[in-house]
Every structure is written in C-alpha cells, then in structure tokens.
Structure 1
Amino acid sequence: MSQNSTMFEVTVLFDGYSKLVDDVMEANCSCTLIKGPKTIIVDTMTAWDKERLVEALAQNDVRPEDVEYVVCTHGHADHIGNNNLFTNAEHIVGYSVHRQSRFYRDLRKVSGDLFEKQEDIADPSIWKEQSASEYLQKLQAKMRWLIINTSDFIVPGHGPMFRVTDTMRKLVECPGE
C-alpha cells in the first residue's frame, strides 16, 4: 500500500426497508457508518431510533461526539431524525451544508434514494413511483446509470447493501436510449 492510500471502513449499521401496509408506506432508511481519516454517518434514521443508533455506534467504538460529518441524502424524516445527536459534526443534508448556524453555498449534490432497494433494478416501477415529476425521473435515471456503472457496491436508501453485477449494469437503462 502506498503512503498516500487512505483506508475506509464502511459498516451498514441498519438496513433500510420500505413496504406498503394497508395503503400506508412503512419505511426507514439505511444507516451507514464510515470510519477513516474522518468519521462519517450517512442518514440518521427516525427520531424513534435514537437508542438503537447510539448503541450501534458504541458497538463500533464511536460516540456521537466523535462523528465529524453527518451526511443525509435528503430531508425526509426517516433520514434526518437523529441529526441532533451529532453537534460536533458538519451536516450535509441534500444540497445544504452547515455547521451550527452557518450555511455554506455552491456545494456538490447528494442524491437520496437514488436506489430505493436492490429489487428496483429488475423492477424500475419501484423507484419510478417515488419520482415527483418526469423531469426528476429522467435525472434519476441518468444518475442511476452513472452510479451503477462506476460502483462495486451500493447502499440503497431502503434496503441492504449489495454488490453490483454485470447483469445489474445491463438492466439499468442508459439515459437517452
């Protein structure tokens, strides 16, 4: 390993899920811990998951005050519910990056629920039902194609992490085709 190599340890603390129960969507997001030169948590689940989240962090030798970055893929309540546990961290929520009362501008985009779950690769209707407009659906299709063709693993918004296969890459439509 070269001297400039950076190692990251990625641990999915909780697999997300989503299911329709009696015409009501029941869901919670995937929650991921990244340990490396910086300690990062991605998506903090619902406010009712506080104790489970603190316990899972402790099992990985991390205290909330050790977390330096909170990345929330978007602002839905099941992705931001415990952000207040991480008061030492810089928070990146969708397009917004802030620390305490300071909000920064012109920042890169973070894409939430780009992949709802692994099953939406074979059944695109799963993710397309969640898109608010035709424009966003086209944008999401483009980003899905880009990510699946440049990634070895994906942690979807509402399902367990999965390894990307060549078959999956063929199933995700290339934008403009």
Structure 2
Amino acid sequence: MTPEKYPVLMRLLHWLMAFTILGIIASGWYMASLSKEVSYKYDIYPWHKSFGILILLLVTTRILVRLFSKVPELPKDLPNHEKILARLTHYSLYALMILVPLSGITMSDAGGHDLFLFGIPLPELMEDNKELAGTLHTIHSYIPYAFLAVIALHIVGALKHRFMDKPENDVLGRML
C-alpha cells in the first residue's frame, strides 16, 4: 500500500524551507566567525536578514496552507510514543521556524540596525534598546543549535520509518 502524499504546495514549501533554513544557519555561523577586518563580512548581513524574513513569511504561508489542506494522518501502525514524538518534533520545528527569525529581526530592530527584504527597506517597529538587543543576540546565537538538534531528530525519524519500518509507515515517501 502506497502512503498518501502531502499536497504538492506543502511538499514544495517543506523542501524550499529545509534548504533555506540549513543555508541561513550555515551563513549565520560563517559570518559570525569572520573577524571584523574581513572586508565582505558586513555584506553578508543584509542577505542573512532577508532570508530570515523570507523564512518567517514562508512559515506563515506554510501554516496557512496546512490549516486549509487535507494532510495525511500518521500511519495507524506507528506506536503511540512515536506518534507523540512526531507531533512534539513538528510543533518544535514550527516554533523554531518562527522564533529564530523573529529573534533576529527584533534583535536588529532593537539594536538600531536597518532591515531590508532583498533591498526593500522595512519600517522600524521598535525603539532602540541595546540591552534588549544584547539579550536577543544571545538567544539568536544559541537557538539555532536547538533547531539543528530538532531537525536531526526529524531526519533520523523519517529515515527510520523509511528504512526500518513497514512500507506503509514511510513518512518520508509522503513528502518526496
């Protein structure tokens, strides 16, 4: 029995966001590792911020699409603890897809740094607050590690169901 697939738009958003999120985490770590003397270091920041804002827009779209789409249920044969873990993992992924870019956006805004979406200036929404910006910087620096841990759990779970379970439990096949 072939598992029911997710709607095409949900699959496209899933994979677009997966690659964008991994790329932005890598670019964030790369730009943060550069010394201040590297001439192009601050040329990366506007791109990083633009992709962060894009992720926030995409996750909003993804949530709306999910709310109004028929999505396949978890396989009936999955043990309850795996169903619970799958749901917790998905809720965590959605929360982190919102929290990571939101912490970066508010950090920049509170720090008095301009925000652009691929060259389009965005309005300043907060007054400058260096203390808040510092706290948000710490949060924005650490939560990508938690995000990667949850992503790894998500991938390991999908691969486990693909290669170690019965074919009807292949949740990865539903998203391919």
Of structures 1 and 2, the one with the larger relative CO (CA 8 A, separation 6+) is: 2
The structure carrying a bigger helix percent of its residues is 2
TM-score by length of 2: 0.26
TM-score by length of 1: 0.26
Bigger Rg over Cα? 2
The structure carrying a bigger strand percent of its residues is 1
